[in-house]
Structure 1
Amino acid sequence: APAQARPLAKFQKKKRKEGHLYCKSGRAFVYASEIDWGVGAMDAVVQFVRNALCTVKNFALLEGTFLYDAKVTAQYVTLPSPLDRTTPLEVLISITQFYALVTLSLAGYKMITSGGVRKLQMISLLVNVRSNPATASDDGKDKKEKDAGDERFRKVAARLVSGTNVLVSVLDYACLSCTLFNSILCTDAHIEKKAVGISFFWLFANSWHVTSTDWIGGLRGLIHALTIMELALVVFLVYMVKDAGDLVRAASKKKQFANEIVSSKNKMENVESITVEQYSWLVDGWSPFWKGGPSASVTPATGEKMITKEEEAVASKLATLSTNVSEEITDRLHQSAKMSLLEGYREYLYLLINFFAFYGYLACILVYYFNDESQQPDYIRAILFWLPNADADWTGNAVGDFAWTVEPLIVLGSPILLKSMSSTSKEKEKKD
């Protein structure tokens, strides 16, 4: 197609002429709910820097500066061709990609061990403890202690504790699944020596023009890595829909639950029907001893006593709540309902942003596999909006990089905004 008919590809064409591959940024999968202003915040900052630099490269911003001069890189390191075409801008991008490579690998390992295997070990231990109760003498002693308490609340507490045992075994499998996807080994069947690594390894190599060679599968290896990341993103998109819906529904449930308590004159009249979720709302987050995974203090010998102690604590709390639920708790429930609703809307915003990124990078993959425009099926042409391959490739990549530049700003800024809105709402309610 004539150059004037392809305005979107002008930056890409120029870079290809100079021997540059356009940027593939990748994503670190960080959410505002994970931000503790420690490692999570650092991941979001690095994600922003990485994608912002890629956006700068895509649009050839600051083109007349040293950032695009490969000779500057050559002053510090001698590289063979085509690696010697690496510019300082690409070096900066590669550093942030290497950071993601390391942190994602470590996060995946921790999720598989601490978040997965060890939690399952704890669940197995607790199940074994319940399957093999204490000795007869201990049972008699425990029975006397139970007779001294309110059996009504103990039964409810036992049900809640048992329910939580099951719940903790399925926590955060969305993140676990996506990290596992990013840890899948990518191989190229068309080279003698299989290239093995995780997705960000190819993105890192691409910044150094390694994918212009056949060392690690070349461009095909990069596309395979991007395909793996797209599959991971599909899982995330599914869970974003689920999480957003759960938050919006939770907001409605919290509000209804708080209104029921107020209408019952701040009492829990039907305490037998309370759920694990509702109890957690009332106590502002319930973290039983087994939630953190296995511990040296939890053994088959001590497990039963610790579970009994947990049940007693829950029963005691339920006994108090059955007669008096303070206004502070109901106010907190109403406020939490508002926050859950806002967080649900934020999750839908993440869904929209990540869908744009998914669609954009999908175009890059489709262009690779359907590189002959004259042979492209109609549905592929429609997905690419009937753009020439070069335009679809550049546009998709630019949209993906820009979307993931905006997202970490929301991740970092939304907790502050939501907290500010929460404080404003509380002050307004006090005045009223």
Structure 2
Amino acid sequence: DEDGDLSMESDLEERHPEAKLPHELSWGQRKQLYYDTDYGSDAQAKGKRSQQEIDAEEEEEEQEAQIIQRRLVRDLGEDDYGLDMIQSYVAQQQKTHDSKGQKIDKDLQALSKKEQLKLLKQESPELLQLMEDFEVKLMEIKDELYPLLQMVRDGTIPQGKGSRYLQTKYHLYLNYCANISFYLVLKSKRMPVHSHPVIERLVEYRNIINDLAVIDQKLSPQVRMLLRNFYDKKEEKLRKENKFSVFLTMDDKKNKPKRASAPVNGRAAAPAEASDESELDEEAALKYYKMMEKKLALKRKRTGDEDVLEEAVVSEGEDPSKKRGVTYQMIKNKGLTPKRRKIDRNPRVKHREKFRRAKIRRKGQVREVRRELHRYAGELSGIRAGVKKSRKLK
């Protein structure tokens, strides 16, 4: 019987050889089992072991890695391969294709400004940036590049690499703005622009402009100086041309004599025209001065008449039996008054000053209580040996 029991136990052990082993994922409760490194003290401890032990450990690690890999592959399903995404995309495309005939346009007028802006950013996020670029580049063309090109034509900027660079940049900005305007036309007509060639062209121009930023930064001091000189000269020229424009009023412009018509043969004398213009400006200035003198004379006369009328009205309205009312001059005329200090005018300020002086006097009579916030380091104001402030005991 004992032999039979032993044979049965051996058969059970052969059938279930891993029954007594723990689960492969349970590594134990000791924290040290979960941490292992190949540097520091662990590396020194591993260095003391034999090569055979190291090889056995590496083989165990490889087997464990293969077991983990097989377990992960076994747990994989269709969702992990992304097949559901493809199926959902196909279903969505089919749904949009079916509902193409039932497309409902949004009522943009019913949306608020915030919602309209949000919808615009969703449909074309690049639109606002391109509009801002359009305004900035146009301002730069108008205020910087065009004046610089005028200086190149005048000879202020000599021909060379700098002038060629300015011309290239000018044409580049013009083409960029033209493409942006074409893009805006397409957007206004509600045409699809994402696959349009204008987008690629805009990206190319933007990249070239970004590449030129380094050169612009180097040339910015010289460009600033040239533009300052250009605008100073322009302002001085305008000041000279409009020297007498201040004296011209609307009436003078209406009554201004018309210029003589040009001759039939088309030849006109430039010096004669210049002299006529200067004479007209002088006449306009003289007219303006005379008109202002007349206005001032009328104003003085009007104010004088009004004063006379007021005096007459006052004299007529007065009752001879009643006393006259006092005037400001009468109130101001105080006569002989004794001199008083300025502080006596305001009692509040006077008492405040008295209180301030009394506090200063009290410091010499009664010493203030001084708490020992810091260690005693001697008297700050010195000690007068002749002063005694003690009381005599009776």
Q: TM-score, normalised by structure 2?
A: 0.24
Greater gyration radius? 2
Q: Higher relative contact order at CA 8 Å, sep ≥6: structure 1 or structure 2?
A: 1
Bigger share in helix: 1
